[in-house]
Structure 1
Amino acid sequence: MPTSLFKKLASLAVTLGLVLLGAGPAAAAPPRASEPVGIDVSWPQCGKTLPKQPAFAVVGVNNGLANTTNPCLAAQLAWAGTAKTPAATSQPRVSLYVNTANPGLKGSWWPTSNTYKGIRVANPYGNCALRVFKACSYMYGFAKAYDDAAIRGVSNPASYLWWLDVETENSWQGDKSANAAVLEGMTVYFKGIGARVGIYSTSMQWGQVAGSVPATSPLAGLPSWLAGASSLTGAKAFCSNSGLTPRSRVAMTQYISGGLDYNFSCR
């Protein structure tokens, strides 16, 4: 999730003595009230008092793993409702993010067919029933997206922008194309219900998990939400970076300040 990603990046910067993604290691000052920045929250913020009326809000649906539910989802969605009108930025007033992974056969559940919850899925990678791993990876992603939309407690899931949180600390395979297939399955499900989809990651982690995807992939052209900045100034600079997939634009960037994740809308 976004919060854990920052902890991981910060730890690497301290251990290696490096400057994270070109930004200084010093903590950023809290954003000025005039800055139209959003905040993202999830299970690490359960029970914490959150600032009212961010410019926009992003709420994590899972509890750190792709097959879990954030225990504070309802309360945090209610908090997100205090966000200001969307006129201040190009971001939705409230959007969601979900954990992603490809645990393969080591997961607590792994698909065995191209059908989930009675839905017969047109699988571009073949028949999962024949144990075609890439086909089953696609089905795994489709199934986790279905669960996120249908059983986690999200009302009107089609109305949201869903960000796919891609981090190396989650379970992934050495086969990058199979990992991308998971994300494609999620994307196809969310778009199939009429929702919008984006990708959250860093260029480094995206490269390690999914690598380069073809221009024909459902992931191509999805908006990118880039993590790793250590200040609002750095987050603004990230807006000029390349997107994570072909034809992707950087729509939002993230930085940490005062123990919270803040987000800058690039457009």
Structure 2
Amino acid sequence: MSSLLLNRLGRRRTRAAALGALVASVLTFAATAPAASASTNSVHTFTHHTAKVVRTGTMTAAAPAPVRSSYGSDIGWPECPKSLNRPGHPTEGRPMPPSSTRFVVVGLTNGPSLVTNPCLGWQLAWAKKNHVPTTGYAVMTYPTASQLRTYGATGPHRDTSDWRTKLRNVGWSEAQFTLKEMRQVGMKTPSVFIDIEFTIPRWSKSIAANRAVIEGAIKAYKDAGLKVGVYSTAYQWAQIMGSPRYGLLEWHTTGVTSLTSARAACTKQHSFNGGPIVLAQWWDKILDHDVTCGSYSSTTGMNRLFTQY
């Protein structure tokens, strides 16, 4: 997948060949997926409100009414006022989603890791005022040489003679930075999503090195009692991380597409780390849109991801 433009990093904008490959993958899956038939024992749908009738042997029974998906948005530094613009860390003053949105995923960083979203407190106050369920995401980046020196020896991993240990400590420190920012603004959430995609600074050519950074962050968030999710695409995950099966929650993007494409991305066959797909995203020129997937559309599922303010 092509490099993510730096000035769209906080909104996870995947472009060009990467998007083409992703959309082609989604279309291929959609075209080859088996259609539901009258002999199917169970039916999985996303937003239809009426119960389907399924046939089992010679018995006909009404299937349970499927859970209605919820529609929300993800926000971050692009929605911050332009007055907060800083060199290398822009803001765009984009509009916030409507107050009636069913949930928001708030960006905790401004571009790379270890840089806070400059209006995190204001966006959290907006969510509280409008009683919008909220969770967060944090962009992860590979450390610079300076960051490796600063954070490599700080953390729960003590054998710093091993370069992978130092990288795990950096990932742990990146997560600790984000957790501190959340505490400072009073943001409480049962989950957090790690954003893993092509960034600047670039990820290492060593998959083992990249994994060490991410595993350090996973440990920090889990130690803080949070459910950990991943925002990525199958292509970028494979290029950056290889093929580990962590079983983390997954948040998928379909790029500049549609709700239909996002729903298609909710299916288990798209999973890249072996975990449940809980959110899917698409975007337009104004907003990033998201839809809940499967059982995570239920009240119980939503409560596992979001804090209701």
TM over 0.5: yes
Which range, TM-score by smaller chain?
A: 0.7 to 0.9
Match 1:41 to one of 52, 56, 75: 75
- Provide closer, same or farther for how the CA distance between residues 13 and 193 of structure 1 changes in structure 2, counting only shifts above 3 A: closer
Measure how far apart 1:191 and its partner are.
Answer: 1.1
Q: Are 2:108 and 2:116, in contact at CA under 8 Å, matched by a contact in 1?
A: yes
Q: Which residue of 1 aligns with 2:273?
A: 245
Q: Are 1:54 and 1:84, in contact at CA under 8 Å, matched by a contact in 2?
A: no
Match 1:95 to one of 128, 135, 154: 135
- Provide closer, same or farther for how the CA distance between residues 108 and 266 of structure 1 changes in structure 2, counting only shifts above 3 A: same
1:152-163 map, 5 Å: 153-155=184-186, 157=188, 159-163=189-193
Letter in 2 for 1:264: V
Q: Are 2:112 and 2:199, in contact at CA under 8 Å, matched by a contact in 1?
A: no
Q: Are residue 211 (structure 1) and residue 245 (structure 2) matched?
A: no
Q: Which moved more, 1:60-69 or 1:169-178?
A: 169-178
Alignment deviations for residues 145-166 of structure 1 (CA, whole Å, 9 cap, x no partner): 1111114534254x33110001
Q: Normalising to structure 1: TM-score of the pair?
A: 0.76
Q: Which residue of 2 aligns with 1:172?
A: 203
Larger radius of gyration: 2
1:27-106 map, 5 Å: 36-47=70-81, 48-50=94-96, 51-81=98-128, 93-105=133-145
- Provide closer, same or farther for how the CA distance between residues 2 and 59 of structure 1 changes in structure 2, counting only shifts above 3 A: farther
Q: Normalising to structure 2: TM-score of the pair?
A: 0.67
Measure how far apart 1:4 and its partner are.
Answer: 4.0
1:194-209 map, 5 Å: 194-209=225-240
In structure 1, runs of 5+ residues without a counterpart are: 25-33, 86-92
Q: Are 1:140 and 1:182, in contact at CA under 8 Å, matched by a contact in 2?
A: yes
Q: Which residue of 1 aligns with 2:261?
A: 234
Q: Give the alignment's Cα RMSD to 1 decimal.
A: 2.6
Question: Percent of pairs identical after alignment?
Answer: 28
1:125-140 map, 5 Å: 127-128=159-160, 130=161, 132-140=162-170
Q: Which residue of 1 aligns with 2:249?
A: 223
Q: Are residue 190 (structure 1) and residue 236 (structure 2) matched?
A: no
Letter in 1 for 2:273: T
- Provide closer, same or farther for how the CA distance between residues 13 and 61 of structure 1 changes in structure 2, counting only shifts above 3 A: closer
Letter in 2 for 1:127: D
Measure how far apart 1:2 and its partner are.
Answer: 6.7
Measure how far apart 1:222 and its partner are.
Answer: 0.6
How many residues are aligned here?
Answer: 229
| Partner Cα separation in structure 1 for residue 242 and residue 143 of structure 2 | 18
Letter in 2 for 1:225: W
Q: Are 2:108 and 2:138, in contact at CA under 8 Å, matched by a contact in 1?
A: yes
